[in-house]
Structure 1
Amino acid sequence: MSILPPSQDSVSESSNDKAVPVHKVQTGGSFTHDEAANGDVMALEKQPRWPKIRTTWQDAFSEFFGTMILILFGDGVVAQVVLSNGTKGEYQSISWGWGIAVMLGVYVSGKSGAHINPAVTLANCVFRGHPWRKFPVYLLAQLAGAMMGAAIVYGNYRSAIDVFEGGAGIRTVSGPSATAGIFCTYPAAFMTRTGMVFSEFIASTILQFVIFALADANNIGAGPLMPLCLLFLIFGIGACFGWETGYAINLARDFGPRLVSYMIGYGHEVWSAGGYYFWIPMVIPFLGCLSGGALYDFFIYTGESPMNKPYLGLNRFLHPKKSVWSNTHNKAVDSNV
């Protein structure tokens, strides 16, 4: 199960079976088997290459563009608020902007399940049977999409950044004219290391707990209203828990734009700021989303989940076999029977 209904998450799985048409072979008359086979090969060669590529990489493209849209609107609203000195928005504008960013990103990436967050992908692999082989594909696509979105935002607001910073080529991470916070998150000055970790952990735990609740058909279930519900979820997290660390809750959302900001001249401080805070939004969202998913499944969910198996599914560690760990092996065996 993903953020969106399973039927949408399985589009690319089933579409691969449709990529190569099956042709009937005539054996009567002068039309031989070899001629039919040669005809099939020629027909396949005449097919446009791009539709086959698009089908094969459907999930990657979907997550790439969904995450790109997420960053375009999310970093875009931060840029507008910061660079206008608060005259074109305020903190709540940022909360609304990120909520809208998630909603639109989910609409764009619906064919892949609309994860747009590596931690959400991991939670779906662990608790909802999402294929493990897709995890690295989703992660890389999400990271690349976030970098592309950040680069576009920078290109759009470059002149405004020059004016705000006090000159072309001046890029700062801290200080009254700093603009690095447009792209990625930095903790408030008063935050301790423990506070930083807990802030990101509680926000990402809430995120996954509520996502599973919204996707649970045996609960009220959001159904087709899922993207709109996610808008209010992200707005709520930002409005209630976002001040201290910027509620990254997403490795791709934070690390991708942070890497872009380093590449365009913000310097080593993008890594060292906040006592090398950068690793926290990379690691903690995974722990938070796993905790949120485990909490929901343990106390509320009644469907297929490791939390609803003997020993909470931990006995898998005693059987390191593909048939035990794979999320697709048993399904493939059943379909061939």
Structure 2
Amino acid sequence: LTLDMLKLHLLRVRNALVRECMAEFLGTFVLLLFGCAAAAQVKTSRETKGQFLSVNMSFSVGVMSAMYLTKGITGAHLNPAVTLSFCVLGQVPWSRLAPYSLSQLLGAYVASGLVYLIYYDAIMEFSGGVLTVIGPNETASIFATYPTEHLTLGRSFLDQVVGTGMLLLCILCLGEKRNTPAPPGLIPPIVAAIVLGISVSMSGNCGGAINPARDLGPRLFTLTAGWGTEVFTCYNYWFWVPILAPLVGGVLGSCVYLVFIHWQLPDPDPADDFFVLSTISDKIKQPSTKWESEAELKSAHL
């Protein structure tokens, strides 16, 4: 064995779930590092080094980068609302929901900590050394999302339900072979464009989290880094909205996709089904023939 082969043999994680959790952790870490770093730059420079659009674009670039990075391992969920929706749709086992969500949460937390270290001096200079959640020199919004003062609790909940519902509605069609599927290599930038569209149109009310891990991970970090319990108690304990509402919105968006699109598409071409069945039959009749891929083997069991 060569040295490189030996390293690969020793360092490759054997447990599939652990590998998937590592991917979800790193992907969410990359997503939040891009987004929160941009928010820190815009906030601490008092919008002299970027504007609100800069943050939206950075989160979108983070989505695209994270998807290219992890899509081959888990499909790049990066969001508990996405994982929950895929579980409801039967595309992901329910046993993956908790491990994926915790990995995403941890990735968001660690990314927030790194952004804090990178921008520590700027944050302290901007805030005068006082870490606050509300006020002209607040810095908590660099990390987690917060509502505008005029927004009601019910309206903010609706805001997050609609935003996350649009996310799932628009991404579920990308792999639909009976519709107009996107080329696999272009799915990450397409999803990034969808996220950007949602951000620039539906983030003015309460930051457009549309991702429980994206909000709760940084919020937990600010709790432990000196902002205190006010990150959870401010705005009449608003913190639960960007956690629960995206979960509801993701499932609703998935259901809308099923009812209005997926179940209404033309049935598969019988000729295609005959070809697939014939191919599988030929494989079964020839035991010595090796399956070309794991995906082909799985399709034979269906």
TM-score by length of 2: 0.82
Structure 2 residue aligned with 1:119: 81
Pick from 192, 199, 202 the counterpart of residue 231 of structure 1: 192
Deviation at 1:295, TM superposition (A): 0.3
Structure 2 residue aligned with 1:286: 247
Pick from 274, 281, 303 the counterpart of residue 235 of structure 2: 274
* Cα root mean square deviation, aligned: 2.3
Is it true that 1:178 corresponds to 2:126 in the alignment?
no
Cα deviation 1:164-189 (Å, max 9, x = unaligned):
0113xx21111111000000000001
- Aligned partner letter, 2:107: G
Structure 1 residue aligned with 2:43: 82
Tell me how far apart the structure 1 counterparts of residues 141 and 50 of structure 2 sit (CA, whole Å).
16
Pick from 149, 152, 157 the counterpart of residue 119 of structure 2: 157
Residues 1:334 and 1:216: Cα distance change in structure 2 (over 3 Å):
closer
Runs of 4+ in 1 over 2 A off after TM superposition: 47-50, 52-56, 332-337
Residues 1:174 and 1:282: Cα distance change in structure 2 (over 3 Å):
same
Residues 1:222 and 1:334: Cα distance change in structure 2 (over 3 Å):
closer
Provide the aligned length of Structure 1 versus Structure 2: 263
Deviation at 1:128, TM superposition (A): 3.8
SS in structure 1 of the partner of residue 262 of structure 2: coil
Residues 1:49 and 1:56: Cα distance change in structure 2 (over 3 Å):
farther
Structure 2 residue aligned with 1:212: 172
Cα deviation 1:249-304 (Å, max 9, x = unaligned):
11110000100011000011100112111001111111000000000011111499
- Aligned partner letter, 1:210: C
Q: Which residues of structure 1 form unaligned runs of 5+?
A: 1-46, 305-331
Aligned identity (percent) is 35
Tell me how far apart the structure 2 counterparts of residues 136 and 246 of structure 1 sit (CA, whole Å).
25
Q: Equivalences for 1:88-107 in 2 at 5 Å?
A: 88-107=49-68
Tell me how far apart the structure 2 counterparts of residues 333 and 166 of structure 1 sit (CA, whole Å).
59
Structure 1 residue aligned with 2:182: 222
Tell me how far apart the structure 1 counterparts of residues 180 and 12 of structure 2 sit (CA, whole Å).
38
Structure 2 residue aligned with 1:109: 70
Q: Equivalences for 1:1-337 in 2 at 5 Å?
A: 49-53=10-14, 57-110=18-71, 111-167=73-129, 170-223=130-183, 224-302=185-263
Structure 2 residue aligned with 1:27: none
- Aligned partner letter, 2:51: E
Structure showing greater radius of gyration is: 1
- Aligned partner letter, 1:298: V
- Aligned partner letter, 1:173: V
- Contact kept? 2:34, 2:59, Cα under 8 Å: yes
Tell me how far apart the structure 2 counterparts of residues 187 and 301 of structure 1 sit (CA, whole Å).
35
The 10-residue stretch of structure 1 (47-56 or 151-160) with the greater mean CA deviation from structure 2: 47-56
Deviation at 1:238, TM superposition (A): 0.9
Tell me how far apart the structure 2 counterparts of residues 142 and 194 of structure 1 sit (CA, whole Å).
27
Tell me how far apart the structure 2 counterparts of residues 56 and 276 of structure 1 sit (CA, whole Å).
35
- Aligned partner letter, 1:179: T
- Contact kept? 2:13, 2:19, Cα under 8 Å: no
TM-score by length of 1: 0.74
SS in structure 2 of the partner of residue 109 of structure 1: helix
Deviation at 1:248, TM superposition (A): 0.6
Deviation at 1:105, TM superposition (A): 1.4
Residues 1:295 and 1:189: Cα distance change in structure 2 (over 3 Å):
same
